[in-house]
């Protein structure tokens, strides 16, 4: 079931829900200038209703704020908040480092034997707006839409925002059970999305975009969507459309909307603030963690079938070992064993001196 399964998923895997990858390859409009770096604030919204006939499935409604910083050709810093948990990540080359406070350890993933002509398998890097922009340039069967009238868009969004505010106020005092609860949730989700779209209008005025739209059936849903949401969610999106708002100059998506079969927005990716080509430096891409934070390092050979599943299983096993060693007050011995079994990646910054426990 959609909601129940997703709430038990790992944070990094859950975020892959919003990704769609191309089924075939065909060139699309190219940017007119190189995007050397950017820093952006944004939000991802996931709105999947209850599955018909499933009494225990509450559906899924998530609002995920994020902060990204990118440096060409493939360095990324990102923070995300999901289900009350914040995750910080840094990707550089073949190394992905993640930490979620108040965790006592960083998880370091090392992707061995990467093919430089293929996308980086890091889930964090695939979530970046710049990566989504590259994906769009390879998508086939896109339909270029007329240039948006931002004045008309702002007027329409403002009217809808006012109507939603009024309707939510009327429902606030309602004592009806399930039906009104579901309606309240749907209105709250749309209200949040409309608010984000209104906030984005100045950014769209400053950065002219072209709009390109695809039929969802022409896209192959990422494996994570099929595995986590199940065939019901895939069928829920199959007859919908996905629309990208992409800056003409840099090729950076500022907004992505995926609608369901009934035309409702189910997946929404929106940047609210962006600074492009601002001169970011490699030294700024670091993971600031408390003194005494430990490291779990795993490696996966991307040429081998099933490497992702083995890497996930390895992480889970090391996490169990960490908890067991902590409980038995043998963390120093655990760390020594880790060093013997793995190769530590180059640090983005000097690691703090570890205190003996």
CATH of the domain at 104: 2.50.20
Residue with the larger pLDDT of the pair 51 and 268: 268
**pLDDT on residue 341:** 38
> Is 187 part of any domain?
no
Residue with the larger pLDDT of the pair 273 and 338: 273
> Is 258 part of any domain?
yes
Q: What angle (nearest 5°) sits at the alpha carbon of residue 133, between those of residues 132 and 139?
A: 85
For residue range 178-194, what is the model confidence (pLDDT) as tens digits? 667 778 888 898 999 99
> Is 219 part of any domain?
yes
User: Is the pLDDT reported for residue 11 higher than 50?
Assistant: no
**pLDDT on residue 291:** 82
> Is 267 part of any domain?
yes
* Number of domains present in the structure of the chain: 1
- The residue segments making up the domain with residue 139 are 2-145+207-280
Non-local (6+) Cβ contacts of 81 within 8 A are: 64, 65, 66, 87
Q: 145-167 burial string, b = 16+ CB within 10 Å, else e? A: eeeeeeeeebeebeebbeebeee
246: confidence class by pLDDT, cuts 50, 70, 90 = very high
17: confidence class by pLDDT, cuts 50, 70, 90 = very low
Residue with the larger pLDDT of the pair 241 and 57: 241
Q: Residue 253: CA atoms inside 13 Å, Cβ hemisphere, count?
A: 25
Q: Residue 83: CA atoms inside 13 Å, Cβ hemisphere, count?
A: 12
User: Is the pLDDT reported for residue 52 higher than 90?
Assistant: no
> Is 290 part of any domain?
no
DSSP code at position 241: E
> Is 140 part of any domain?
yes
Q: Rounded to whole angstroms, how far apart are CA atoms 314 and 249?
A: 42
> Is 42 part of any domain?
yes
For residue range 188-234, what is the model confidence (pLDDT) as tens digits? 989 999 999 999 999 999 999 999 998 887 765 443 334 434 455 66
> Is 14 part of any domain?
yes
Q: Which DSSP helix (H) or strand (E) runs through 79?
A: strand 75-82
0.75 exceeded by pTM: yes
């Amino acid at each position: 079931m959609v909601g129940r399964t997703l709430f038990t998923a790992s944070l990094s895997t859950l975020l892959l829900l919003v990704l769609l990858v191309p089924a075939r390859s065909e060139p699309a409009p190219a940017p007119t200038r190189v995007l050397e770096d950017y820093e952006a604030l944004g939000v991802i919204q996931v709105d999947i209703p209850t599955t018909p006939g499933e009494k225990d499935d509450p559906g899924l409604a998530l609002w995920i704020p994020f902060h990204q910083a990118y440096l060409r050709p493939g360095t990324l810093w990102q923070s995300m908040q999901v289900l009350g948990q914040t995750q910080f990540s840094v990707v550089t080359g073949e190394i992905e480092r993640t930490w979620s406070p108040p965790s006592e350890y960083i998880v370091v993933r090392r992707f061995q034997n990467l093919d430089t002509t293929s996308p980086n398998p890091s889930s964090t890097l695939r979530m970046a707006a710049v990566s989504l922009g590259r994906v769009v340039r390879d998508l086939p069967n896109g339909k270029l839409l007329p240039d948006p009238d931002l004045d008309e868009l702002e007027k329409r969004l403002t009217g809808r925002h006012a109507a939603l505010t009024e309707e939510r106020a009327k429902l606030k005092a309602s004592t009806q059970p399930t039906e009104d609860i579901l309606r309240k949730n749907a209105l709250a989700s749309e209200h949040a999305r409309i608010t984000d779209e209104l906030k984005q209008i100045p950014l769209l005025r400053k950065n002219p975009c072209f709009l390109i739209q695809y039929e969802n059936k022409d896209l192959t849903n990422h494996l994570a969507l099929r595995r986590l949401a199940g065939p019901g969610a895939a069928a829920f999106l199959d007859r919908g459309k996905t629309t990208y708002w992409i800056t003409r100059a840099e090729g950076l998506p500022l907004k992505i909307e995926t609608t369901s079969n009934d035309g409702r927005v189910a997946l929404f990716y929106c940047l609210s603030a962006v600074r492009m080509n601002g001169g970011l430096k490699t030294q700024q891409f670091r993971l600031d963690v408390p003194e005494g934070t430990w490291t779990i390092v795993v490696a996966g050979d991307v040429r081998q079938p099933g490497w992702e599943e083995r890497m996930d299983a390895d992480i889970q096993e090391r996490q169990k070992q960490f908890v067991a060693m902590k409980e038995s007050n043998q963390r120093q011995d655990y760390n020594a064993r880790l060093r013997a079994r793995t190769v530590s990646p180059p640090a983005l910054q000097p690691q703090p001196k570890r205190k003996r426990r």
